[in-house]
Amino acid sequence: MDSRPVALVTGASSGIGEQIARALAGDGFRVFGTSRRDRADRDGVEMLRLEVTSPESVRSCVERVLDRAGRIDVLVNNAGVMHEGLAEETSIDEAGDVFATDFFGVVRLTDAVLPGMRERGAGRVVNIGSLAAWVGEPGEGFYAAAKAALARYTEALGYEVRPLGISVSLVEPGAFVTPVVEAATASEHAIADYDAIREAARGTLRRGLENGGDPRRVGRLVSAIARARSPRPRYGVGRGGTAIPLLKVLLPRRWFDALLTRAYGLPARTTRQ
C-alpha cells in the first residue's frame, strides 16, 4: 500500500503550478496535478482534468483522487487566470469570469476537500495568491481584487479550521517568469482616453514578468510549507514579497502612490482644451 502523503495541485500543467507539483513529488508526496485539458502524467505527477468553475468537474476530480489514493493530505489551490483591462474597460461579465476562477474556484475546490480533512482531523490547504492583493495595480484591477478577496477568505478559513487540526496558508508571489501573460484574458472594449495609461501599465507588467524570478523557488517554498510542523498563515516570495506589504502599511499613502505612479510610468494628468 502506498504510504506517501497525498497532494492535489491545481493548475499544474505549467508555470508555478508545475514547479509546485514537481517539488512535492521530489520530496516524497504522491502528487495529483490538474489541468483544464487532458495531459499525460509526467515527473511523478498524476495528471487529471479539472475545470475549477464547474461543480461537476470539481466533484469528479476529487472523487478520482480519493478512489486512487484514499485521502488528500495537502490541497494547493494554484489554478487561476490573469486579466488585463482597465477598470472602466472591463465588463461585468469579464470581471465575473476572473472571480469565478481566481476566487470561487478556490472556494469550490476547498469545500470539496475539507470534509475528508475534518474527518481525519488533519490536513493542509495552501492558496496561491499574489502581491497584487496589496496594490490596486493599474491595468489589472479585477485580478488584484480577486486576489485580495482570496487573501481575506484564506485568513478567515484559517481561523475556522485550525481547531479541527487543519492549517491554511497563503503564498503571495511577486513577479516570476511564467506563461501567465500569454494565457491572460483581456478586455474587449477599449476607451481612447485610457490609451497612454493602458500602454504604460501593460509595458510595466510585461517587463516585470520578463525579469521575474525562477518559479522553482515557489515550488520549493510550497513543499516546505506542506512538510512544516507549524506553517505560517502567510508567505511572501520573490521580488517585493516582503517589502511591498511593509511599504504599503508603513509609508504615508501619498508616498506610496508616488512610488507606484513612477514605477508604472503613468502619464501626468492631462486637461481638456
What residues are labeled active site? 143
Distances from the Cα of 228 to the Cα of 71, 162, 216, 233, angstroms: 19, 15, 18, 12
Which has the closest alpha carbon to 143: 206, 100, 189?
100
Phi and psi, residue 147, nearest 5° = -70, -30
- The CA-to-CA distance between both ends of the chain, in Å, stands at 76
Cα dihedral sign, 150-151-154-159: negative
Phi and psi, residue 252, nearest 5° = -55, 145
> E-strand spans in the chain?
6-9, 30-35, 45-49, 74-77, 83-84, 123-128, 166-173, 185-186, 234-237
Other beta carbons within 10 Å of 217: 16
Indicate the SS3 state at residue 120: helix
Cell 508526496, residue located: 29
